[in-house]
Amino acid sequence: MAIKKDASKNIKEVLRDQINGKLLLPLQKLPSERELSELFSITRISVKSALDSLEIEGLIYREDRRGWFVSPPRVKYNPLSRCHFHQMISEQERIAETQLLGVKSMMAPSSIATILALSELTPIHVLERLRYIDGRAVLFVENCLISEFFPDILSENLAQSLTTLYEKKYGFKNSRSHFDFIPTSAPEHVAHALNIRPGQQILKICRVNYNQHHQIIDCEFEYWRPDAVIISIDNRESF
Amino acid sequence: MAIKKDASKNIKEVLRDQINGKLLLPLQKLPSERELSELFSITRISVKSALDSLEIEGLIYREDRRGWFVSPPRVKYNPLSRCHFHQMISEQERIAETQLLGVKSMMAPSSIATILALSELTPIHVLERLRYIDGRAVLFVENCLISEFFPDILSENLAQSLTTLYEKKYGFKNSRSHFDFIPTSAPEHVAHALNIRPGQQILKICRVNYNQHHQIIDCEFEYWRPDAVIISIDNRESF
DNA sequence: GAGTGGTCTAGACCACGTC
DNA sequence: ACGTGGTCTAGACCACTCG
C-alpha cells in the first residue's frame, strides 16, 4: 500500500539493491527507460529522474542513445605519485588503453597563456588523447606543450607516456607540479569524446608542470568521468 | 526564427551571459521557474532541465523551495597545507563561520572501524559541524574521533579548529594524513544541512589523520557543495 | 526499420518557506 | 495564504544506434 508513495524512491532503492547485491554486474545494461516505466508503473520522466540521481551517485552511467549501464568500481588515482597512467591502472588489475585523438599547433590563447605564465605570443602544441579503462572511455586529456621546449615531438608516438618521453628525449625531469581539481560540467568536445551528454558533471583537473630548471614546460587538462575515479593522496609522500 | 530551436540551449546561454556579464550578481535570486518558463515560452520542465545543467556547471545553485541563486566565486582549498579553515577563508577575503550541529558518542560502526583500522569494538565521538562562507552553508563536516585519545574533549568549544585543540590540549601533532576525493551524491542528512536536494552531486573528502607516533587518531568526512570549491595542490609543498 | 534515449508540451497536486 | 520548487501524469516527436 505504501508502494505508490514516492515512486522514484522505490525504483532507486530496487536498482541500488540489485547493483549492490551483484544481480546487476558492472558494464551490464539496464532495461530500457520505457520498460522500467512499465515495470514500476511510473512515467518515463520519473524513471529518468531516478536514473539521473543514481548516475550522480556513481552507480550507473549512460551511453548516448544506447542505454544505461552499471558502473565498474572506481580506480584510485594518486596525482602526486610519479606513476604512469598505464602502470597505475594495471597495478589495480584493470586494463588501460590510450588513443591519440589529434594534435594541433597554434598560438597560445589567453586562457592558456595565463596558466603557462606566458607574456608574449607563444606557439604551443595541443594534444588530445582519450584514455580507456576496461574498454570504457573514462578520461579525456588535453596537453598544452610550449613548442620551443619540445622540438620535433610531433614525430614521436604520442599515445605513450608523455612524462617518459619528456625525460628520454629532452632530459626533462619534473621538479614540481600544481593541480587544481574542479567539479564542473563537460564542455562539448569532451562530452562527445567520453560519450556523455554535454553539460553533464565531470571532474576537471588542471595540472601545470615544471622541469628541473623550475620552468613551466606544459600544462594538462584532465576530464574524468566522475564515477570512474577516487583521487587518493597521502601527504607523507612527497614524490 | 531560430528561436524555437532547442529552447533549453537558448535560456542557458542567456542566463550564462547575464551571470558572466555581472548583470546577475553572486547570491542574487533568479526569476522563478514559472516566470522563466513564460519569459522563454517553454515549459517548466524545460526550464528545470536548463537550470539543472547550469547548476552542474557551478554557475547557479538552488535552495529548497526558495529559489535559484547565482553562485559566488569558488574558494581555493589546499588540503595539504596546515592552514585552518577560518584562516584559509579569510586569506581569500571571504567570511567563514562554523556551527556545531551535534555530538554523539557510540561504538564505531564497521564502515568507520575499517577506515580507522580498528579491530575491536571501540568507542568513538562523532562531531557534526556545518561551515559557512559569506553566510552560505557550503561544507558539512563529520569528525570521528577515537575516544580514548581525547578524554574530556566534549567539554571544549567544538566550533573552533580541531587541529589546534588536538595540539594544545593533547599535544598531538599531525604526522601524516590520507585523503580520498570522491565525486558522488549527498546522503540525506548532509543534503538537509546544506539545504540541497538529497541525491544531488557533491564532493566528498575522506581524511584520515595520524599523530606524531604514527597512530590513527581520527578521521573526517567533508561534503562540499561542488560549486563552492577548487581543490588546489602543489606537490612541492610537503608541509 | 526498430529500439533507444533526448527533448518537449500542458497541465496537475504536494511540501515547504515566507510572510 | 501565497509563492516556491519537487514531483508527477500521459502523452508526442526527434536524433541517433544497431542489426
| Other beta carbons less than 10 A from residue B212's beta carbon | 11
Which set of grid coordinates corresponds to residue B64?
529548497
Minimum-distance CB partner of A182 among B180, B200, B230: B230
- The answer to whether B210 touches B186, Cβ cutoff 8 Å, is no
Instruction: Establish, for the pair of chains A and B, how many residue pairs have beta carbons separated by less than 8 Å.
Output: 110
- Domain chopping of chain B, boundaries: 2-70, 75-231
Q: Could you read off the pLDDT of B11-30 as tens digits, one per residue?
A: 888 899 899 998 999 999 99
Q: Could you read off the pLDDT of B109-123 as tens digits, one per residue?
A: 999 999 999 988 999
Which set of grid coordinates corresponds to residue B187?
546522503
Rounded to whole angstroms, the Cα distance separating B156 from B142 reads 17
- pLDDT exceeds cutoff 90 at A1: no
**Closest chain A CA to residue B198:** A53
Q: Burial-class residue B48 by CB neighbours within 10 Å (0-12, 13-18, 19+).
A: middle
Q: How confident is the model at residue A238 (pLDDT cuts 50, 70, 90)?
A: very low
A7-11, A64-68, A172-176: the lowest-pLDDT one = A7-11
- Listed in sequence order, the residues at least 6 apart from B65 whose beta carbon sits closer than 8 Å to its beta carbon are none
Q: Burial-class residue B101 by CB neighbours within 10 Å (0-12, 13-18, 19+).
A: middle
CA of B206 to C1' of D1 (A): 45
Q: Could you read off the pLDDT of B201-236 as tens digits, one per residue?
A: 899 999 999 999 999 999 999 999 999 999 999 987
Is pTM beyond 0.75 here?
A: yes
Give residue A223's Cα distance to chain centre: 4
Nucleotides of chain C in contact with protein CB (under 7 A) are 3-12, 15-18
Q: Which residues does chain A have within 8 Å of residue B20's beta carbon, measured at their own beta carbons? A: none
Q: Shortest CA–C1' contact from B52: which nucleotide?
A: D5
Determine the residue among B203, B233, B239 to mutate to test chain A binding: the one whose Cβ has the most chain A Cβ atoms within 10 Å: B233
Looking at the domain covering A2-70, what would its CATH class be?
mainly alpha
Query: What is the Cβ-side half-sphere exposure of residue B44, based on CA atoms within 13 angstroms?
Result: 5
- The answer to whether B204 touches B222, Cβ cutoff 8 Å, is yes
Q: Can you say whether residue A27 is alpha, beta or left, with left for phi > 0 and alpha for psi between -120 and 50 degrees?
A: left
- pLDDT exceeds cutoff 50 at A4: no
- The answer to whether A129 touches A99, Cβ cutoff 8 Å, is yes
pLDDT at A7: 53
Are A236 and B57 in contact (CB < 8 Å)?
A: no
Q: What type of residue is A144?
A: C
Q: Enter the DSSP assignment of B29.
A: B
Q: Burial-class residue B192 by CB neighbours within 10 Å (0-12, 13-18, 19+).
A: middle
Rounded to whole angstroms, the Cα distance separating A183 from B230 reads 8
Rounded to whole angstroms, the Cα distance separating A37 from A47 reads 6
Rounded to whole angstroms, the Cα distance separating A232 from A224 reads 14
- The answer to whether B27 touches B63, Cβ cutoff 8 Å, is no
Cα separations in angstroms, A168 against A95, A150, A153, B45, B88: 25, 12, 12, 55, 40
- Listed in sequence order, the residues at least 6 apart from B110 whose beta carbon sits closer than 8 Å to its beta carbon are none
Q: What type of residue is B200?
A: Q
Q: Could you read off the pLDDT of A80-125 as tens digits, one per residue?
A: 888 899 999 999 999 999 999 999 999 999 999 999 999 889 999 9
Rounded to whole angstroms, the Cα distance separating A190 from A179 reads 19
Is residue B184 classed as helix, strand or coil in its secondary structure? strand
CATH number for B75-231 (one of 3.40.50.720, 1.20.1050.10, 3.40.50.300, 3.40.1410.10): it is 3.40.1410.10
Are A176 and B234 in contact (CB < 8 Å)?
A: yes
Q: How confident is the model at residue B198 (pLDDT cuts 50, 70, 90)?
A: confident
Cell 605564465 found at: A117
Rounded to whole angstroms, the Cα distance separating A98 from A129 reads 7
Nearest-CA distance from A204 to chain B in Å? Answer: 10
Q: Could you read off the pLDDT of B142-172 as tens digits, one per residue?
A: 999 999 999 999 999 988 889 999 999 999 9
Q: Is the CB of A30 under 7 A from strand C?
A: yes
Q: Enter the DSSP assignment of A233.
A: E
Q: How confident is the model at residue B7 (pLDDT cuts 50, 70, 90)?
A: low
Rounded to whole angstroms, the Cα distance separating A14 from A8 reads 10
- pLDDT exceeds cutoff 60 at B97: yes
Share of chain A above pLDDT 70, in %: 95
Rounded to whole angstroms, the Cα distance separating A172 from B224 reads 37
Of A224, A221, A222, nearest in space to A115 by CA: A221
